[in-house]
Structure 1
Amino acid sequence: MLNRPAIASMSIGRPGIHSLPEKLRQAANYGFQGIELFYEDLEYLAHTHHDGSIIAAARHTRQICDSLSLEIVNLQPFSFYEGLLDRAEHDRMVTDKLSLWFSLVRILGTDLIQIPSNFLPPDPVSGAPRTTGELDVIVSDLRKVADLGLKQSPPVRFAYESLCWGTHVSTWEECWAIVQLVNRSNFGICLDTFNIAGRIYADPESPTGKTPNAEAALEVSISRLIRTIDPAKVFFVQVVDAERLPIPLVKGHPFYHEQQPARMSWSRNARLFAFEEDRGGYLPIIDVARAFVATGFQGWWSLELFSRTLADPDPRTPQRHAKRGIESYLKLENALQLSDHLSSVRQHRL
């Protein structure tokens, strides 16, 4: 299904403030046709309504989405997997966690699992690293899950995403290189305006909010993206902005967390939808999103928002965010002429 808006479930890190069924209802009410489902929401639903059964929670979620005509785009995030130095933990992730996720995606009616680049912090006691940046280990680990996914019926796909605070993989270029090395038909990339601009263009620790030579560096990178990326390997894209912070995100800042990279703290607290400059948005995400279109990408556009505003206990919070989200998407659709692009794709196929 081409160029249909999908909005991420809006409670990662804060399950229970607003119920998953209510968030799904509001997404459907405002015209979203799909959702990214966060495992944390599913887990919370299991504990509050299904005596801890994640399988029952998945069935419940699928029933709600079917009744609302919402497609579940993916299940995410399958975190802290690749490059683990503790190979026993790696094996547990494959034999226990991934097996469960395969069962869940079948129930949910999706075939896609998202894997964010690893940002597992050092051991809290010894301070020793818990991951390796050795490319052959990372590629081998990701190839393993891809091969297991191909054995499922139906096959399961994986979308690898570089987080702008990732320990070893923090740029789309690094992510794309790994996707090519994994070299499996069911292993692709997720491109995210926030994580691309948030690494190349933005620096929340800087008084300017930008990296040195931000504009030039971004221009070079997105030009490379257009020339390099195979659109068939882009499984979905995400489009959101973020706030320009009035003061650098360093020690003493309200968002500062000594055990988190600054970009991670910024991401968790200060994302915005596109076209929300009045709220402080400043990333050149439309330039990045336009590059996605230029690659020939034809899939789901998702709005993945993390923000302190989602912690507002007001019961109208899901409704307000769904409204902001669809308003943003419609502006994006117009700015990028996504409807025209979709029509040309269909004509070409005919």
Structure 2
Amino acid sequence: MPCTPAIATMSVGRAWVHPLPAKLTQIAAAGFQGVELFYEDLEYLAREHSPSDAEPSESSLLAAAQTTKDLCAGLNLQIISLQPFLFYEGLIDRAAHAQRLTKLRTWFRLAHTLGTDLIQIPSNFLPATETTGHLDRIVADMVELAELGLQQRPVIRFAYENLAWGTHVATWETLWTVVERVNRPNFGACLDTFNIAGRVWADPAAESGTVAGDADAVLAESLARLVRTVDVRKVFYVQVVDAERLAAPLRGEGHPFFVAGQPARMSWSRNARLFLYEQDRGGYLPVVEVARAFLAGLKFEGWVSMELFARSLAEADPAVPREHARRGWRAWELLREELGL
């Protein structure tokens, strides 16, 4: 099928400001056809029917999922995925692993209620003291998860994503190794321009904002290898997003985005992502080159998500969802024009 635009629900984590219905309404009004739904948005919606200091019950979450599905149906928005299922693979504590699998069964019910068959899994970024980088363990964990998904009716698929700050799976190469070794029809990849360029080409802790050496050549070689290596049938969707060139390197407590113990790329990602073609706001990653590898090189056809995390989303102005949705749609339209989609 042709590339179809989607957007994340522009969730801002625990700093919840804008209600989900307002965000979804503006996403649809901007022209988007699909939405990546954040689990946290369901939690906030569920808390409207349960004490604010309590963990929402499964029944409250399922009610929130049904409300969300009905709202999206009324807006002609398809829910393309539920994300992020965090901190799963490679856990050293196997009791914690079992707890995540118990949580997964709730996610299965949520996905079915939402009408999506896709759950996205970011690579684990817990400390190396809590996770193993042993690929046999990571693959075995993912096989277990995929097999559980295959038992669901309808089947649940999983899109695994390498985070640029992942503890053990930070590059698309390691991600692809896991996907190949898992070798299940419902287990594939989510490829993200930020997480590829932000690892291979950019470094927010460096004065230059880029990795040492010839960053352009390193990225070009990586993308050429990606096009030669990746089976596009195993790419379940892609995300296209830029990031801000920081005024000062993100290192040390003097930087406003610095968080002790948190990787610089994670702090950068949470605060300073931008939509594509926003150089006037500081955007500087070679996003078009990465997107071209996805859409022209791999010939990907499917959902293209304009995902965003940024400090601007926490502003209380009620116009924030509308402004960001319009910016996201403009980025999609310009990308379509440049790549001839």
TM range (shorter): over 0.9
Taking the aligned partners of 1:298 and 1:207, their CA distance within structure 2 comes to 37
Taking the aligned partners of 1:314 and 1:258, their CA distance within structure 2 comes to 30
Deviations 1:203-238 (A, max 9, x none): 000000000221111010000011111110000000
Instruction: Pick from 91, 95, 118 the counterpart of residue 112 of structure 1.
Output: 118
Contact 2:16 2:314 in 1 (8 A): no
Taking the aligned partners of 1:25 and 1:193, their CA distance within structure 2 comes to 26
Question: What are the within-5 Å matches in structure 2 for residues 239-318 of structure 1?
Answer: 239-251=240-252, 252-293=254-295, 294-318=297-321
Where 2:82 maps in the other structure, the secondary structure is strand
Contact 1:12 1:38 in 2 (8 A): no
Is 2:61 the partner of 1:54?
A: yes
Taking the aligned partners of 1:147 and 1:2, their CA distance within structure 2 comes to 30
Partner of 1:224: 225
Contact 1:12 1:41 in 2 (8 A): no
Deviations 1:223-268 (A, max 9, x none): 0011111110000000000001111001111000112100000000
Alignment size in residue pairs: 331
Contact 2:12 2:313 in 1 (8 A): no
Structure 1 residue 15: deviation in Å? 5.1
Is 2:191 the partner of 1:191?
A: yes
Deviations 1:142-198 (A, max 9, x none): 111101001111111000000000000000011001100000010000100000000
Contact 1:170 1:199 in 2 (8 A): yes
Taking the aligned partners of 1:268 and 1:121, their CA distance within structure 2 comes to 18
Pairwise CA RMSD? 1.0
Is 2:150 the partner of 1:150?
A: yes
TM-score (normalizing by structure 1): 0.93
Deviations 1:316-347 (A, max 9, x none): 11011001110111001111111xxxxxxxxx
Matched to 2:299, the amino acid is: G
Structure 1 residue 48: deviation in Å? 1.7
Taking the aligned partners of 2:242 and 2:80, their CA distance within structure 1 comes to 21
Structure 1 residue 49: deviation in Å? 4.2
Taking the aligned partners of 1:191 and 1:160, their CA distance within structure 2 comes to 8
Taking the aligned partners of 2:44 and 2:112, their CA distance within structure 1 comes to 20
Partner of 1:346: none
Deviations 1:20-61 (A, max 9, x none): 010000000010000000000110100024664101000000
Where 1:64 maps in the other structure, the secondary structure is helix
Contact 2:272 2:310 in 1 (8 A): yes
Partner of 2:103: 97
Flag structure 2 segments of 5+ consecutive residues without an equivalent: none
Is 2:333 the partner of 1:326?
A: no
Deviation >4 Å, runs of 4+: none
TM-score (normalizing by structure 2): 0.95
Taking the aligned partners of 1:75 and 1:68, their CA distance within structure 2 comes to 18
Taking the aligned partners of 2:197 and 2:316, their CA distance within structure 1 comes to 30
Taking the aligned partners of 2:11 and 2:154, their CA distance within structure 1 comes to 29
Taking the aligned partners of 1:33 and 1:296, their CA distance within structure 2 comes to 20
Question: What are the within-5 Å matches in structure 2 for residues 22-171 of structure 1?
Answer: 22-49=22-49, 52=56, 53-94=60-101, 96-121=102-127, 129-171=129-171
Structure 1 residue 11: deviation in Å? 1.5
Flag structure 1 segments of 5+ consecutive residues without an equivalent: 123-128, 339-350
Matched to 2:211, the amino acid is: T
Question: What are the within-5 Å matches in structure 2 for residues 198-209 of structure 1?
Answer: 198-209=198-209
Contact 2:146 2:186 in 1 (8 A): yes
Where 2:120 maps in the other structure, the secondary structure is strand
Where 2:35 maps in the other structure, the secondary structure is strand
